[in-house]
Amino acid sequence: MNRLILTILAVAIVHHTTFAQKVTVSKGTQKVRNETAEGFQTHLTGKEDDVSAAWNKFLKGTGKDKSDGQTLVITEPVVGGTVYAKGILYATTDGSGENSKVWIGLIPGEWGDSVLATVNKELEQMVYRFGVKFYKDEIQKQIDESEAASQAVDRQTQRLVNESKSLAKQLTNNDEEKMQLEKALEANKLEDLVLKQKLVNNKKAQDSVAQAGVQIRKVVEMHKERQAKVN
C-alpha cells in the first residue's frame, strides 16, 4: 500500500510538470503521394503509440478514413460541419520516446481555392482541440488512478480501523479471562491448602482410630480369656 501511494505521488508530480503546458499549433508540410501536403501540426508529450491511438480515434467520424500504414487518408471529410465530397485530408503521427507530433493537412490542388482558407482555419483549430483533449484525457487518467489509489487507501484504513477495534475487544476479553483465571488460581491455592490440611487431619484420625482399634482388640481378648475360665 505504501509503495502504491508513493508511485501515485511520483507520477502525479511528473505529470503536473509534464502537462502544465500550452498547446501550440504550427504550420507543417508532409510528403504525400510524391506531392507536398500543407497543414498544421502540434508537438505533444506522450508516446507515439498512445498519441497515434488517440489521434485516430479523434478523427473517427471526420470522414471515410483508410490507413496506408503511415498516413491516414480521409475522404469525403467533414470540416467545420461541412461535408466536402471531393476533398481529401491526410493525417500522420510520429515520435520518439516521450515526444510525439500529429499533423493533418491537404494537397491544395485537390481542393478548390475558394474553400482553402476556411478549411485550413478549421484544420488548425482541429489540431488545437485535439492537443487540448489529449492532455486533458491524460490528466484524467492520472486523476482516475489517484482516486482509485485514494479509495484503496480509504478501504485499507477502514480495514485497519475495524481490525483495531477487533483487537481491542479481544484484548479486553483476554484481560477479563486473565482476571477470572487469577481468581480461580487463588481459589485453587486456597482449596489446595484446605485439602492438604484435611489430609493431615485424616492421617491423624486414622492413627487415632488405629490406636483405638488396638485397645478394643485387647479388651476383646481379655473378655475371651475370662469366658474361657468359666467352668
Instruction: Give the model's pLDDT for residue 213.
Output: 86
- pLDDT score, position 10: 64
What is d(CA 160, CA 168) in angstroms, rounded to the nearest whole number? 12
Distance CA 113, CA 111 (A): 6
**Nearest-5° angle of CA 52, CA 57, CA 62?**
115
* Residue 18, amino acid: T
Q: Which residue has the cell 480501523?
A: 161
Residue 226 pLDDT: 87
Listed residue (39, 131, 115, 117) closest to 83, CA to CA: 115
Full pLDDT tens readout for the chain, 231 residues: 566 566 666 655 555 555 457 899 999 999 998 899 999 999 999 999 999 999 999 999 899 999 887 899 999 999 999 999 999 999 999 999 999 999 999 999 999 899 999 999 999 999 999 999 999 999 999 899 889 888 988 999 999 999 999 999 999 999 999 999 999 999 999 999 999 999 999 999 899 888 988 898 898 888 888 888 888
Lay out the sheet containing 99-106: strands in order across: 25-32, 35-45, 99-106, 88-96, 72-75, 64-67
What pLDDT, on the 0 to 100 scale, is given for residue 223? 86
Question: So what's the pLDDT on residue 180?
Answer: 95
- In the chain the domains, ranked by start, together with CATH numbers, are 10-143 (3.30.310)
CA–CA gap between residue 91 and residue 197 (Å, rounded)? 106
C-alpha grid cell for residue 211? 490406636
How far is the C-alpha of 44 from the C-alpha of 51, rounded, in Å? 8
Report the alpha-carbon distance of residue 20 to residue 3 in Å, rounded.
26
Beta bridge partners of 27: 40
Between helix 48-59 and helix 113-228 the angle, nearest 10°, is 120
